[in-house]
Structure 1
């Protein structure tokens, strides 16, 4: 009996060793499997600092030597959302070492791009394939396996589960890595990114963002040159009331990664939130210049999407400074752009918002009513929310020029777009269009003499906008609903109520030209010259009377002179 037990124990031990050995057996993908991913390849192409500075990253992986150096570079690029260039470096690593599981993890991360536009179908397929290969490779550390499981959870059932739910899955996966490896700084940084990506736009407590910010700021003293920390802090606090907390990082990030067009642009998110227009302009001029350089160097036919993204913020900042001439130059330049790569959310938004902002903020109603969709060959049907901006602009132009039938026709189109977004289960964008619909209905009611109903609808639109956030990619709503409420109240000769509306809006959108000007006029009409003068001084602090051709600057100057 004793011999039998010893034999069983020995057999069990041998089986265990054999099983462990089997588990450690080297498993690498074949060349054919790798080719099926469709990796982006080639030399890194970026414009900005000629020294190619992207910040400092130290990411521990099982593979050592030259691969480690390349891996750190790829992750640095990834942290600045230079996805194409990062994928090229990960592809280079795979070519050298096809058994490097984390290189495939990197490819999967490049095709997720949280905080940006959701991945296309081709990107989802590529990311899922890369993540599955990463999981199949042996050997790899337990820590690496958890990183891979986290990104795999985002791609799992991508054709059945919505983007936001899968982003929450990624957040949960990175929470596990963060908990299991508390000394891993990269785990903490990517977990903070995951928190921001999974945050609910309707959550006004900013619970996840504040948690992410606490993690990132705790890391910064020991990692002052890390691109991800500075970048994600900017995204984390890109909200009214929080933006000032990211100002130090906004003024730091471009110096950390000056060779990244996105790093040159990203600080302007905070500058825009805080109404720091000169800094926003400087940031986006550098970013647009870098993006213009990148397109031909990378072999892009036409223009790079990052250029149009920078132009959107640049035009917005010029308009707030009253620099109409400079804003118009960029609007005219936009009309020369016919081809952009890649065609995505940012591009569609820029094409729709840039001309709309120029017309609405300058109250060029006749031109707004006739705004044409440009480019004509752009796939607008894939971007209904952005197309709604053009219809809203036409509607407001038609209302203010008395073409109510045209305005009603545009309202029908807005309602159709809203229904389309509801059917697509894109509730955030559907809500944004609903705000435009309520505002449009309000102005239609006003023009037909139904003032009470007009105010009710306009207040509804403003309250709806207060309860949600602008999309993180955009500089501002095309025209804030509460500012429109102030305009309506002024037309109804309710200056005190109008002043309150403008003041409330300026807390969310500081240093907006039209909001500040509206507050001056409203205060003057109430007879409170001191408040009017205070807002006038504020307007002068962020505009330049010598270079601005906005007649409003001359108007308020003359009004206040008469009163004083």
Structure 2
């Protein structure tokens, strides 16, 4: 199980909730999301009510759509665009596109179906609020009322969608998935139906995978079968690939999605989220450079879309822009991507300059931005970082952490210790004793403190103290499975522990620790660097050479040092 300390995507999904949510509710929700880590970041409601008359159709957001009950070519085009946007997880823009289609042909049943579908539940956790559900039900009933010209299959799709929004709430997801499955079985060559059905089963499952990466719900087994059968027939369908990446990410074989992920950006070159999506697979299998660049490109596409289409709220209002930045920063930290990483870090801190004290999600995500400055920023850049307000204690932790990492690079033991002490003092801040995610936040503070204590001890030549500090930090981090989506604590602290063990003279223990952590953080270049040093100390020169070679595969940074591992 991945803990909330490690799974950044889960944190983003939970901590967007209002601060008034009771602690027990928040903790329970966190556990549920940890065990079912399917989302890319909380999307919220897509029912913005924004006017559609001036909406711009941006090309290149993928393939999708099908012939519907309209003779109006513009309505058909906007319907198809809505389908593409929905598979690109541009939920609000998808709703707008379907509403645009409805305005062009008010008698179009499937245009109303599209609006109802896009308003409803999605893998980003949106569409579950009462307003979205009520509006979606009305649109689905409009579709049934207008369905005279729709095909029999499309009328069945409309009836299935009504099940999603009506009747006993506890059975809605299963009723919808079951009905869609029946339709899909009668039309085995329809790629869209297959994707809709797999999506429905994925949303129905309460837990996707067990600790061994095996399906924990028959719905997941069925979804996997549907997607793999569909990909065998249509290996370049963007919507199917998108779902497959999500579904395989935490399975026992995430590598299965690599060939599909590698082609997704080409299939949807203007769709920010689809350009981002391969990074879920890349990060999971240890391709950190590719994960970084996928998101560098996705961030650029967010800005381009804003220039071309001027969506409501601009870039700041894009629910997944922060996720793209965070994912890119995570890849940059692991790959040593200083240049691109610092651009992303600056982008994060300037895009979200005013953070609400209630928005724990954004406070936590900022840790990677500060970490990038600490690991790669110049002394002038680090000194220029403004200290966050006292109302943002988590960001203050990250600010101190950045200064401590920068001091460690400069070899200033006293300065590193001073930042660790400043973090220790913040552990008494009242907000860390109460409120949502209290255990996560308390762990976050102590980990940050112990890492800097370990850095200072390594610089001072006190290997025993370094082992103690890093072991405690790794213990907290290790409450769950590591790796995968960029975590809030950006790297495997076990590699620092391994470096400290090596400094203490226990090369065998250092080697064992690195070999162990590479199961969760495959291809981590800095861990291979530590491994090479351990193998050399053990007299295993061939193994040391191999580890040094592997350390260069995913590393684009400068020289490595044991006291910064």
TM (normalized to structure 1)?
0.69
Equivalent of 1:127, from 132, 143, 150? Answer: 132
Question: 2:115·2:139 contact (CA, 8 Å) conserved in 1?
Answer: no
Equivalent of 1:407, from 413, 418, 423? Answer: 423
Partner of 2:40: none
Offset at 1:229?
A: 0.4
Partner of 1:182: 185
Offset at 1:461?
A: 2.6
State yes or no: 1:420 paired with 2:435: yes
Partner of 1:562: none
SS at match of 1:408: helix
- Give the structure, 1 or 2, with the largest relative contact order (CA under 8 Å, sep 6 or more): 2
Deviations 1:53-82, CA, capped at 9 Å, x for gaps: 521333x76666644553233112101112
Distance in 2 separating the partners of 1:405 and 1:346: 25
SS at match of 2:52: coil
Partner of 2:559: 550
Q: How many residue pairs get matched?
A: 482
Question: 1:81·1:113 contact (CA, 8 Å) conserved in 2?
Answer: no
Partner of 2:15: none
With over 3 angstroms needed to count, the CA separation of the structure-2 counterparts of 1:263 and 1:481, relative to structure 1, is same
Partner of 2:257: 246
With over 3 angstroms needed to count, the CA separation of the structure-2 counterparts of 1:221 and 1:87, relative to structure 1, is same
Identify unmatched segments of 5+ residues in structure 2.
1-46, 148-154
Distance in 2 separating the partners of 1:145 and 1:344: 39
Equivalent of 2:198, from 184, 188, 192? Answer: 192
Offset at 1:130?
A: 1.7
Question: 1:365·1:396 contact (CA, 8 Å) conserved in 2?
Answer: no
Partner of 1:532: 544
| Aligned-pair Cα RMSD in Å | 4.6
Offset at 1:367?
A: 9.6
Offset at 1:100?
A: 4.7
Equivalent of 1:482, from 476, 488, 494? Answer: 494
Distance in 2 separating the partners of 1:445 and 1:350: 23
Question: 1:55·1:225 contact (CA, 8 Å) conserved in 2?
Answer: no
Of stretches 226-235 and 482-491 in structure 1, the one that deviates more from structure 2 is: 482-491
Partner of 2:78: 70
Deviations 1:492-513, CA, capped at 9 Å, x for gaps: 5433222222222222222323
Question: 2:286·2:521 contact (CA, 8 Å) conserved in 1?
Answer: yes
Partner of 2:234: 223
With over 3 angstroms needed to count, the CA separation of the structure-2 counterparts of 1:337 and 1:109, relative to structure 1, is same
Offset at 1:388?
A: 9.1
Distance in 1 separating the partners of 2:487 and 2:163: 35
Distance in 1 separating the partners of 2:443 and 2:251: 19
> Pairwise mapping of residues 30-41 of structure 1 onto structure 2 (< 5 A)?
38-41=49-52
With over 3 angstroms needed to count, the CA separation of the structure-2 counterparts of 1:151 and 1:539, relative to structure 1, is farther
TM (normalized to structure 2)?
0.69
Partner of 1:296: 307
Distance in 2 separating the partners of 1:195 and 1:365: 51
Of stretches 525-534 and 365-374 in structure 1, the one that deviates more from structure 2 is: 365-374
Which structure has the bigger radius of gyration? Answer: 1
Distance in 2 separating the partners of 1:340 and 1:393: 20
With over 3 angstroms needed to count, the CA separation of the structure-2 counterparts of 1:177 and 1:278, relative to structure 1, is same
